[in-house]
Amino acid sequence: MIFIVLVLLFCASLALWNKMKPRPPSPPVHPGALPLIGHAHQFYGDPKHLWEFVTKLSHFSLKSGGVSEIWMGPHIMYMITDPDDFMTVSTKCMDKPYFYKFATEMFQNGLITASLTTWKTHRRLLNPSFNLQVLTSFIPEFNTQARNLVVSLQSEVGKESFNVHHYLIKQLLKTVCQTSLGLATEDKSIDVDYANATEDLFAILAERFTRIYLHLSSTYAWSSLKTKQDQLLKITRGIMNKIIYRRKEELKMGSKTENGTSAKVVKFEPLLNQLLELADTQDAFTDDEIREHVNTIVAAAYDTTASSITFALILLGTYPEVQNRVYKEIQTVLGDEDLTKDNLPKLVYLEAVVKETLRLYPSSPCVARRIDSDVKLKNYTLRSGTTCLLSIYGIGRHSMWGADADQFKPERWLDPSALPSNPNAFCNFGIGKRDCIGRVYAMLAIKTMLVHVLRKYIVFGDVNSIKAQLTISFKPATTSQLRLELRS
């Protein structure tokens, strides 16, 4: 009997191994695959290990002509680092792969995890809330919150290196809550508890992805991770439901508010108000869908933006000559004035610094698509029923950026002739129709925070000493990140 079981297991192993074997023309397979589990064992580990492995996958793909193959058990995944193939997949495949469903209990019909049909309808309804005119109305609030950040950092002046990411998370959560939810400055409805719960949920999603046996819903349902996830979701849903209910009641009473207090003139229309109005006038969203969209936008916005600003400050601390040039530009363009929609375009070098930071340290280093039918690339055909990982990190390190692709050189953005001719070279907010709806919001928030911090402080850092980690977003694992001194 035991012999028969062993024979059957051996035959099943051979069948799966044969299925996983490359078929011509097939991309190079990443080294280290094992029978049955493929490369799953190489993903396994903590967030620091996951980041290290994702960088290895990206560099192997770059060396292999821009496409490589990975096996997550019997499931085939492709890693794309070629800009043209990146665009092909982004255009032809807009649905998300199975492991995005791990986040559906948290975000459900939010733009990141929604099915293609739902995404198309909801994206069209949400687009007007993210146009330039609406977003530039947030700039005064961005200035206010950036000044608050400067005050909170005062306690770190002259001390040893500290965790600036922690400060940014707290301040950007307040910023997003005011602009997206319309909360008053003193409103503590969303605070550190929400941020910590969201961070833990992101870590759970990443841990589930790295453990192939938890990909099955039946297995995951019995795990301690699922129990912890349910507890955290209860916290985030409870907080958001209360806010939505309260705002609905305020709007029913006809009391539009400015940051929580009655006002005749509203500086800006919070996203939540716009969603509730669409629900009321067009029956566009249910209460659950409103919560899902707001949850998605709040969680994605403050977390990724905080990471981008953290790396920008570390890089500026590493390269004092770049920091000095940014500071001089700020003084020349703004003087003592706040950032406005009129003077913002004049901060050309600051824009270059931000783009160069995003190129080297993308807050979302990979996005993924489901391959529903065979997709013909330049050199290979991606097979139907597989998954494609689109490496934003890999595109940023592509040889088209030149021999100095790994170096931090903001000056490259000042000369269009020095930039890659490929229009898909900068894809940090995605490309194609399913790109990031919040790209303008993120850029405005990043620039405003940097302007106010650099006006007040000289920053010191060493990017080479920073270890990174990957959960849902890419961020520093090292807590000693920056040192501050007051500007004279």
pLDDT digits (tens, 9 = 90+) for 434-479: 999 999 999 999 999 999 999 999 999 999 999 999 988 899 999 9
Q: DSSP label at 399? A: G
Q: Are 469 and 48 in contact (CB under 8 A)?
A: yes
Confidence of residue 258 (pLDDT cuts 50, 70, 90): very low
Cβ density class 256-267: b for 16+ within 10 Å, e for less: bbebeeeeeeee
Tokens encoding 51: 């980041």
Strands (DSSP E) found in 198-295: 257-258, 261-262
Q: Which of 362, 293, 304, 368 is nearest to 127 (CA)?
A: 293
Q: How far apart are CA 51 and CA 28, in angstroms?
A: 21
Q: Are 111 and 437 in contact (CB under 8 A)?
A: yes
**pLDDT at residue 260 greater than cutoff 70:** no
Tokens encoding 66: 């821009």
- Window from 20-34, 70-84, 159-173, 301-315 with minimum mean pLDDT: 20-34
pLDDT for res 61:
98
436 is an annotated ligand-binding site residue? yes
Q: Are 180 and 271 in contact (CB under 8 A)?
A: yes
Question: Can you give the pTM of this predicted structure?
Answer: 0.90
Neighbours of 240 (CB within 10 A): 21
Q: How far apart are CA 333 and CA 346, in angstroms?
A: 7
Q: How far apart are CA 391 and CA 310, in angstroms?
A: 21
Q: DSSP label at 180? A: I
**pLDDT at residue 80 greater than cutoff 70:** yes
Measured between alpha carbons, how far is residue 479 from residues 135, 160, 166, 446, 476 in Å? Answer: 32, 11, 9, 20, 7
Share of the chain above pLDDT 90, in %: 66
Q: How far apart are CA 331 and CA 448, in angstroms?
A: 14
Neighbours of 423 (CB within 10 A): 11
Residue in this structure with the two tokens 């001089």, named with its chain if needed: 328
Q: How far apart are CA 80 and CA 107, in angstroms?
A: 26
**pLDDT at residue 9 greater than cutoff 80:** no
Residue in this structure with the two tokens 């709806």, named with its chain if needed: 437
- What phi-psi label fits residue 440: left (phi over 0), alpha (psi between -120 and 50 degrees) or beta? alpha
DSSP characters over 282-348: H----HHHHHHHHHHHHHHHHHHHHHHHHHHHHHHHH-HHHHHHHHHHHHHHHTTPPP-TTTGGG-H
Residue 449: partners with Cβ closer than 8 Å, 6 or more residues away:
142, 146, 149, 168, 171, 172, 309
Q: Which of 243, 340, 366, 331 is nearest to 295 (CA)?
A: 243
Tokens encoding 460: 């010191």
Residue 156: partners with Cβ closer than 8 Å, 6 or more residues away:
162, 484
Tokens encoding 472: 């849902």
What angle do the packed helices 192-210 and 47-63 form, to 10 degrees?
Answer: 50
Q: Are 116 and 94 in contact (CB under 8 A)?
A: yes
The helix (run of H) or strand (run of E) holding residue 69 is strand 67-72
pLDDT for res 267:
61
pLDDT for res 262:
42
- The pairing of strands 386-391 and 75-80 is parallel
Confidence of residue 264 (pLDDT cuts 50, 70, 90): very low
Q: Are 415 and 346 in contact (CB under 8 A)?
A: no
Assigned architecture for domain 27-486: Orthogonal Bundle (1.10)
pLDDT for res 270:
83
Confidence of residue 239 (pLDDT cuts 50, 70, 90): confident
Over the stretch 399-411, which tens digit does the pLDDT of each residue have? 999 999 999 999 9
The helix (run of H) or strand (run of E) holding residue 171 is helix 164-176
pLDDT for res 151:
97
Q: How far apart are CA 126 and CA 136, in angstroms?
A: 16
Neighbours of 31 (CB within 10 A): 10
**pLDDT at residue 315 greater than cutoff 80:** yes
